[in-house]
Amino acid sequence: DTTGTTEDTPADLVPQVPVIVELLAALGIARVGAAGYEADDVIGTLVERTAGRRPVEVVTGDRDLFQLVDDARGVRVLYTARGGVRDADVVDEAFLTQKYRVADGTAYGQMSILRGDTSDGLPGVAGIGEKTAADLIERFGTVEAVRVAAADPSSPGLTPARRRRIVEAADYLDVAGDVVLVRRGLELPAAEPLLPIPDAAAFAAFADEVGLGTTADRVLAALTVTT
Ligand code: MN
Ligand code: MN
């Protein structure tokens, strides 16, 4: 679409899904989804239900989920895109401030709307990069407040060029929040987040079928809980 706000499913991903489902079932790893929503939205909902009652760590390589970071409610992200699981970045509010110059997860989400994200096919506001986006959110608080200021020539704090860019991006900004912001209130099917209990026979058959080799042994070793 012309606003660039549709997140398409990569064609390569589709045939992998049933394989992933089979693998998780064989390993006894709980899985939950909601038709019509991204995994991000499911994760956001699960975090929302738990935050403030016990510490929450979201392990992900997707920086969209930085939106969930909330020091006061004990939510942080272990970001695996650079160092993998072994050397994940611990993303809390100090990390967001240092790396993106936004105060918290909420501000990160607002900044992301302005910046866009090329890995999601989201163009952002033309001519507004990450630093400017962060400056604007620091100054105005929300995308909505930036837009109100941009529409009012007497409002201080915006250069003419930035004002024009924000106004010209109206079609994008009208809908970008729906795509960028992680939902937190989905109806989800019940899922018990219990420790995985692999089905040895099913997993052996799966590993053989897809040729996992010694990876299969490593997965089982990693999931084996000794008490
Ligand atoms: Mn995402
Ligand atoms: Mn995304």
CA of 64 to the centre of ligand 2 (A): 5
Arithmetic mean of pLDDT, 142-152: 96
CA 39 – ligand 1 centroid, Å: 7
Q: How far apart are CA 180 and CA 116, in angstroms?
A: 8
Q: With 90 as the cut, is the pLDDT of residue 115 above it?
A: yes
| DSSP string computed for 93-110 | HHHHHHHH--SSHHHHHH
State yes or no: pLDDT of 227 exceeds 50. no
Give pLDDT tens digits for 14-26: 899 899 999 999 9
Is 91 exposed, middle or buried (CB count within 10 Å of its CB: 0-12, 13-18, 19+)? buried
pLDDT in tens, 153-195: 888 889 999 999 999 999 999 999 999 999 999 999 887 767 7
83-104 pLDDT, tens digit per residue, is 998 899 999 999 999 999 999 9
Question: From ligand 2's centre to the CA of 209, what distance in Å?
Answer: 32
Which residues sit with Cβ closer than 5 angstroms to ligand 2, an ion? 64, 120
Ligand 1 centroid from CA 7, angstroms: 9
Q: What does the pLDDT look like over 57-86, one tens digit per residue? A: 999 999 999 999 999 999 999 999 999 988
How far apart are the CA of 61 and the centre of ligand 1, in A? 9
Distance 40 CA to ligand 1 centre (A): 6
Ligand number with the minimum distance to the CA of 122? 2
Q: φ and ψ at 162, to 5 degrees?
A: -65, -40
Percent of the chain residues past pLDDT 90, beyond the cut: 72
- Please say if the pLDDT value at position 206 is more than 70: yes
Spatial distance between the Cα atoms of 190 and 108, rounded to a whole number of angstroms:
30
